[in-house]
Chain A
Amino acid sequence: MFPKPLEKSSRTWQISYQLLLPFALIVWLLPLLAVANFSIKPEADFVNGNYWGLPSSFEAFANYGKVFFESNMPKYLLNSLFITIPTVIGAVALSCMAGFALGIYKFKSNLPIFFIFIAGNFVPFQILMVPVRDMTISMNLYDTKTGLVLFHIAFQTGFCTLFMRNFIRALPFPLIEAARVEGIAEWRIFLYVVLPLMKPALAALAVLIFTFIWNDYFWAVVLTQGPGAQPVTAGITEFNSQFRAAYHLMSAGSIVAALPPVVMFFLMQKHFIAGLTLGAVK
């Protein structure tokens, strides 16, 4: 193990490490702690210039209540949900099948197709922006959740296919051969042999895509406008212009907007990290 395990170090270093750890964490998360602090302060604190000190009174209920009952925030949150969930399902479904095809079968264009999926994944969004926006408008899907969902599914399929294909590649191939010898149809092999083994990959991808899509801002701005379809990342800017310079409300709104992926991450931590660090270990 590197660095040297703590138990083998000097007593002084052991103690200082234990002290350093929480201190480092607080410094690292200082920006977040500050926002959390902002969000429970009364407005008066900001008027009096008490930005970073302790709140003079506890106003969390009032502030968060305003966010939920006197703004468009709940609408934006729902929009985000209705954009994110279908995208997750769509992208995972498409890439499961594509990953199966690319991971199991040998055919000439296998690698070229695989590399097109990977390459598309790295492309700058801007080169897609004008045509995708134009296409979305001509399909009458501009400023709708469906328009966003369709694009997200397509784009995320690149990364998801990379992920799924490599995962399926690592499964024991004799299993599939055995099934073939039994005369089982190929689609049944996918459904009953491969798919059950893919559960960890499905979970990992689902949380990852959930976070990516929830946090997407660029496409939300390009393909939607207004509270009818905009997700929360784009809505927060409108929210902020509604409560201009009302830091206690803006910070409460930000926390609410950021929360779902955070919850997702803590619930599915193992899968999330497994997905994110795919390929970091050979």
Chain B
Amino acid sequence: MTVSPAVSSPHASSPQKGWYKRNEIAITPWLFLMPAIIFFTVYVVIPIGQSFWISFHQWDGLGEKTWIGTANYERLLGWGDQNMDRKFETSFWNNLRWLVLYLLAIPAGLFIALFLNQTVRGIRVYKSLFFFPFVISQVVVGLVFSWFYLPNDGLFDIITGWFGIDVKGGVLGNPNTATYGIIAAGLWPQTAYCMILYLTGLNAVDPEQVEAARLDGAKGYKMLWYVILPQLKPATFIAFVVTIIGALRSFDLISVMTNGGPFGSTRVLSFFMFEESLSEFGFRMGYGAAIAVVLFFLMLGFIGYFLYSMYRDEKGAR
């Protein structure tokens, strides 16, 4: 860096200064942004476009791509005289099940957060131990739950056995229950996540408002609904975002616990896509890309909503 002559004020762009020095404020942000933008463009932005492109081809991942127009989509969604791909149908409905049931993590997390929002001795340790499941990898969570669900020897089977309920083939071996079994496993860490969001939110609830409401005779549900929940809105929003994204990204648990089975009954779009593109049945990258595009559009609805909310906040902050 050169030392500028003492006569000129640092603001005035005197002609002796170099081009960079004169445009420093305009150029610096781009220099700082460049590495992140390059990485992000190469690995995230461009591949999205490429996936669209690949989805119009037949491709085994190695040889030449053959342009087949919308044939992948026709086969997948059953346009024209074809039937919808049965696997796609199962995956799509399972995705909806995941979405709806995964949202239970939000009220469950709120419930636990309310339960833990006290000041007794050792409560901090309790809070972090309750949060524990979120830190563990989903692969391990999946393994643990698959042992829990073991037919005959699994704890779940033993306990339901006391009530005379017997799930044929074990929870994960039965096509009617397998998806729900996996979702329950997923809810465990997700609830922990929502809990920690709400605990942080509860911490910031305005105590004066609560006291005022209490003096007005509000308590219990009424207090929660009209006084506390409105103040927890930011926490609820984030919980909603991460839960929706988590539900649509579900892959690890399915892969570890059932690998899509039994009889393909636990497939979701993300797993189905992986299976079509990289499975032992052969590499159908074009078809896989088409599935990914459909999943992308499903998520785009949510992403659009999230971004819109954030954008509104951003405008409000100015």
- A112-143: CB near B (< 8 Å → 1, else 0) gives 01011111101111111111111100000000
Residue of B nearest to A273 (CB): B196
Q: Tell me whether A217 and B303 are in contact (CB under 8 A).
A: no
CB distance from A198 to the nearest CB of B (A): 14
Q: Which of A25, A38, A126, A151 contacts B130 (CB 8 A)?
A: A25
Contact among A126, A186, A233, A236 for B291, CB-based, below 8 A: A126
Provided the pairs A98-B37, A154-B40, A186-B25 are in contact, do residues A281 and B204 lie with their beta carbons within 8 angstroms?
yes
Is residue A258 within 8 Å, beta carbon to beta carbon, of the partner chain? Answer: yes
Let me know if B102 is at the binding interface, CB within 8 A: no
Residue of B nearest to A7 (CB): B119
State which of B43, B202, B224, B255 has its C-beta within 8 Å of the C-beta of A154. B43
Could you tell me the distance between the alpha carbons of A282 and B314 in the complex, rounded to whole angstroms? 12
| A181 contacts chain B at the CB level, 8 A cutoff | yes
B37, A127: Cβ atoms closer than 8 Å: no
Q: In chain A, what residue has the closest Cβ to B314?
A: A111
Q: What 0/1 readout, one digit per residue, does chain B (236-253) give for beta carbons within 8 Å of chain A?
A: 011001000100110110
**Contact B48–A128 (Cβ < 8 Å):** yes
Tell me if B114 counts as interface (CB < 8 A to partner A).
yes
Is B176 an interface residue when CB atoms closer than 8 A count as contact?
Answer: no
Instruction: Report the count of interface residues on B (CB-CB < 8 A).
Output: 110
Chosen A-B contacts, 30 in total, with CB atoms closer than 8 Å, are: A2-B205, A2-B228, A31-B141, A34-B148, A35-B147, A97-B32, A97-B33, A97-B36, A98-B32, A101-B32, A102-B29, A123-B299, A124-B248, A127-B293, A128-B48, A131-B54, A133-B278, A134-B61, A135-B43, A154-B40, A154-B42, A154-B43, A158-B44, A183-B10, A217-B252, A222-B278, A237-B139, A258-B140, A273-B131, A276-B197
Q: Residues on A close to B: CB < 8 A?
A: 1-6, 17-18, 21, 24-25, 28-32, 34-35, 38, 49, 51-52, 94-95, 97-98, 100-102, 104-105, 107, 110-111, 113, 115-120, 122-135, 150-151, 153-155, 157-158, 161, 180-183, 185-188, 190, 211, 214-215, 217-218, 221-222, 233, 236-237, 240, 247, 250-251, 254-255, 257-258, 261-262, 264-266, 269, 273, 276-277, 279-282
